[in-house]
Amino acid sequence: MGAVVRTGLPLMAWRELLSFIILFYFVDNDMWIDLSLHALTSLWPGRAREHTRRGADVRLEDWTYQQCVTLTGFRKKDVRRLIRGLGYQDRVVRTPLRRYKISGEAAILILLVRLHDARRWAELEPIFRRDATQLSEIWTTVLSEVHDSHGYLLTDLIPFKARLPAYANAIRVKMEHTYPGVAPLHNLVGFIDGTLRRCCRPSSQMFPGMNLQEAMYSGYKKTHGLRWQSVSAPDGLLMHVFGPLPARRHDSTLLRRSRFLEDWENLFDEGDIIYRIYGDSAYSQTPYLATAMKAMNNAPLTEEQEEMNTAMNSCRVTVEWSFRDVVHRFARFLDIRQRMKIGEVALGPVFLVSCLLSNCLVCCEGCECSAFFNIAPPTLEEYLQVDAEDDAEDDAEDDADDA
């Protein structure tokens, strides 16, 4: 690792940040702030200590069923499928800075435990039989690898195209059953919304000359944070996740910067049925985006329009459930504001990988959203786009432990 500046960030990281400043400062000040923030939330702090390994790599078989659920939030058989689906079953992970070496299975276990349990590294040393410095660098490495290799699953809409008719039917059936007197909107397949994830106030000393404290402060929420946008499907999966942007950005700004509508339009060929996404009144109506009905020219909404908004909002709230599930599953890390420090934690990859793992857990166990619309999510292997393998003996052993 090269020289480290006084603020604690690697010199190479500061050079990357300066390239954003030079490129965008004189072009678009708002864009400069957004892109600089994106760079900062992807940076990792330098590590300066050297330590030794304390024992053999931990294996999934070393844990009981209950230990696995407590530490990772996943069942043992699902962790095994996740390791195989992410491609870490027969891998050896090497860190780029200190060249530590660890099995792929142990690396994924470190990733899951850190996000779900969020104990201090010193408290995890007896579990993984490694020093805190090694654990931190291994976690950083595997998180970055999973983000780079599988992050496309949170932006690629093509795998969802075959499921759109089932999504539309699930929403239509739910609407007809819950509000029989309201004519449902046709061909709705998902719901879009933005959210704010709180973080620590950025240090003016660590980032001199950048007014990040103002950019990341939300006057509405009265807190510092980062803005994210997601599109949720009826089966509970997050089809599309975009961010982060500063807390002061509006939902419509996130939609424009994400270019989601352009990608959604390109998903359909000529002659295809056009499916739409539903959002609240913060968005504008388009052929691909349906929104809540608004009063025009100071005229109040009719009774039918109010009933329609009420019916649609009862379904649109499921996108809030998806955000809630991500935070609840990894609450001990994501929901502790003191851990969310720009320059010390890569907030962007952390949240995106948490969304990816939340989708994996939905594929394994289902969720409240899929039960609400009565539609099953795809299998984990289908979502990760890998071939399924038969682990009947291991699954039977896990089910026996569960019982």
pLDDT of 165 > 80? The answer is: yes
Cβ atoms within 10 Å, residue 29: 10
- For the ranges 49-58, 135-144, 280-289, 381-390, which has the lowest average pLDDT? 49-58
- Distances, alpha carbon 266 to alpha carbons 251, 260, 262, in Å: 22, 10, 6
Higher per-residue confidence, 18 vs 282: 282
How far apart are the C-alpha atoms of 400 and 254, rounded to whole Å? 47
Put residue 271 in one of left, alpha, beta given phi > 0 → left and psi -120 to 50 → alpha: left
Rounded average pLDDT over 317-329? 89
Higher per-residue confidence, 387 vs 82: 82
- Distances, alpha carbon 377 to alpha carbons 85, 284, 360, in Å: 16, 29, 10
Give the type of residue at 371.
A
Rounded average pLDDT over 271-278? 93
Q: E strand or H helix at 93, and its extent?
A: strand 92-94
What is the pLDDT at residue 82? 97
Rounded average pLDDT over 340-351? 81
Three-state DSSP class for 278? strand
How far apart are the C-alpha atoms of 157 and 168, rounded to whole Å? 16
pLDDT of 159 > 90? The answer is: yes
Structure letter (DSSP) for residue 226: E
Rounded average pLDDT over 72-98? 92
pLDDT of 48 > 80? The answer is: no
pLDDT of 368 > 80? The answer is: yes
Mean pLDDT of the chain: 83
